[in-house]
Amino acid sequence: MSRKRKIELYDTTLRDGTQAEDVSFSVEDKVRIAHRLDELGIGYIEGGWPGSNPRDIEFFKMMGKEKLTRARLVSFGSTRRARIKASADDNLKFLLNSSTPVVTLFGKTSKLHVQKALRVPLAENLAMIHDSVQYLKARVDKVFYDAEHFFDGYRQDPEYALKTLVAAEEAGADFLVLCDTNGGMLPFDIVEIMREVLPVVKTPLGIHTHNDSGSAVANSLVAVKEGASMVQGTINGYGERCGNANLCSVIPNLKLKMGLGTVTDKELTRLRDTSRFVAELTNLPHSTHQPYVGDSAFAHKGGIHVNAVLKCSKTYEHISPDKVGNRRRVLVSDLAGRSNIESKALEYGVDLDSESGVVREVLSELKDLEHYGYQYEAAEASFELLMQKALKKKKQYFKLHGFRVTDEKIEDGSPHAEATIKLEVDGLVEHTAAEGTGPVNALDAALRKALERFYPSLKEVNLVDFKVRVLAGMQGTAAKVRVLVESGDAETKWGTVGVSENVIEASWQALVDSLEYKLYKDERAAKRRKKG
């Protein structure tokens, strides 16, 4: 395998990815994603199947007014119907009307599908492949042929599966893409069949895998190693059933591990942002444990690990996180050692001596709090405030005199929540109330209402996420709960935590930390500006 070989990247997030159970994009979403894929360095972007739905027709119409820097837009569709001319097939007309420079056609490779699904003679299926590719090749720049169910079809009848490839090749296809449509192949299956296919055809081969056996990325990589020069996949592995090959793993593996040409170094640094951007538009949580781009991909929790990685990153990191736009994270937990606390302090601009009393104090309190139920991996703002408290630097922004929350439901009426709060800032007492859709919402509204008079910047804070987890279910509704709150302003996001047997009290702790962190963050930024 030549290490200088160029591998074409083909993204099908906008078509195959939308077949995932929880994924749906608007036309505007698809346009925005197409531009992000272009910036990532993807060579081919499959936009959809214009013959199948009005949304994809509208997408290709809108993309006609957009400019892509590097990528080429691809429309997708099936071969002609049986017993009609290619020129009379409506699906092929839709593909041409999409005005894309590249068209991908899929056809039946499996004898089973030809006989049971299409119900046409085997020879007619070969003609359908040949005629469709030939017709489109005369009218667009490139035609790629997706050999649907190729690997399963090859196992059933190798001779016929190869005939379908030859039919597309003789018609002028620019790529023959071997598809593991059912996703059931394992890497050694791919290797065995690829080695038998390569001597039969001269047209470049591509690979399209699904993840039903958990092997989509591995299957794609071994196919490339055996000679495939195109990989098809989706961002975050979105796709029907268990998904497609995840390009967020395929791309860095090809470039960093196999030394093959895919994207530039600069483009690769956009990988994590692209992954998160697409996840955001799907309205799905970004996978924390996703290789390369997940928040946990370069997170270190055990004290021994942290101590080692700070001395030499290669001890527990297979690549430098910044290569894919990610970052190293040192987590703080009851498994933490002094190295964790030191490293975390440095993130916040505090230089601590590992033998100092502050480190021991923070570490001791951290272990006690986590034993009680606190967790700080997703609540780094609460941890920073905890550290400031240990340093005797934590400012008291207000003094609580008390609050009361009522939640009532009148017969046949909607629930009604109201919170009253009394607090003091610099000797001035504020006593106010607010309503909300629930007790936590009402308490949050009352707290903000009381504090915004003194701290107007709190108006910038938005609640991004709110999670409640029961920590000991055997105690039923009296169980201890942990509340995680994610907040944000125009610049950044931060997480805070609270724990109590009372969900209102746990929520109060997390909400107070959230607002106090905003004030602390603003003060820190003001001091830096003053110094600068």
For the chain, the structural domain boundaries read 8-263, 299-377, 400-454
User: DSSP string covering 179-193, please?
Assistant: EETT----HHHHHHH
Looking at residue 2, what is its pLDDT? 40
Q: Please state, in angstroms and as integers, the Cα–Cα distance from residue 465 to each residue in 296, 397, 486, following that order.
A: 19, 24, 5
Contacts of 236 (CB under 8 A, 6+ apart): 246, 248, 275, 278, 279, 286, 287, 290
Question: Residues 246, 272, 464, 16: what is their CA dihedral angle, to the nearest 10 degrees?
Answer: -30
Which residue, 70, 54, 252, is CA-closest to 62?
54
Looking at residue 356, what is its pLDDT? 63
Distance in angstroms (rounded) separating the CA atoms of residues 376 and 191: 45
> What pTM was estimated for this model as a whole?
0.71
> Strand (E) positions, 357-414?
399-409
Which residue, 224, 247, 43, is CA-closest to 144?
43
Torsion over CA: 10, 15, 20, 22 (sign): positive
What mean pLDDT is reported for the chain?
90
Q: What is the CATH code for 400-454?
A: 3.30.160
Looking at residue 76, what is its pLDDT? 98
Which of the residues in the chain have pLDDT under 50?
Answer: 1-3, 334-335
Looking at residue 3, what is its pLDDT? 44
- CATH T-level topology, domain 8-263: TIM Barrel (3.20.20)
Distance in angstroms (rounded) separating the CA atoms of residues 169 and 207: 16
Long-range CB pairs of 443-448 (<8 Å, 24+ gap) are: 443/403, 443/405, 443/419, 443/504, 443/507, 443/508, 443/511, 444/507, 444/511, 445/419, 446/403, 446/419, 446/420, 446/421, 447/403, 447/419, 447/421, 447/511, 447/512, 447/515, 448/515
Distance in angstroms (rounded) separating the CA atoms of residues 188 and 241: 23
Which residue, 209, 197, 133, 130, is CA-closest to 162?
197
Distance in angstroms (rounded) separating the CA atoms of residues 511 and 515: 6
**Eight-class DSSP state of 210:** B
Q: Which residues of 452-484 are buried (b: 16+ CB within 10 A; e: fewer)?
A: eeebeebeebeeeebeeeeeeeeeeeeebbbbb
Residue 135: phi and psi, rounded to 5, are -65, -45
Q: Please state, in angstroms and as integers, the Cα–Cα distance from residue 351 to each residue in 343, 387, 390, 518, following that order.
A: 9, 12, 14, 22
Which parts of 75-186 fold into alpha helices (H)? Answer: 90-97, 111-113, 122-137, 150-156, 158-170
Looking at residue 352, what is its pLDDT? 61
Distance in angstroms (rounded) separating the CA atoms of residues 275 and 291: 11
User: DSSP string covering 315-334, please?
Assistant: GT-SS-GGGGT---EE--ST
The pLDDT > 90 percentage for the chain reads: 70
422-452 pLDDT, tens per residue? 999 999 999 999 999 999 999 999 999 999 9
Please, is 115 exposed, middle or buried when counting C-beta atoms within 10 Å of its C-beta (0-12, 13-18, 19+)? middle
* Through-space distance between the first and last CA atoms of the chain, rounded to whole angstroms: 53
Looking at residue 33, what is its pLDDT? 95
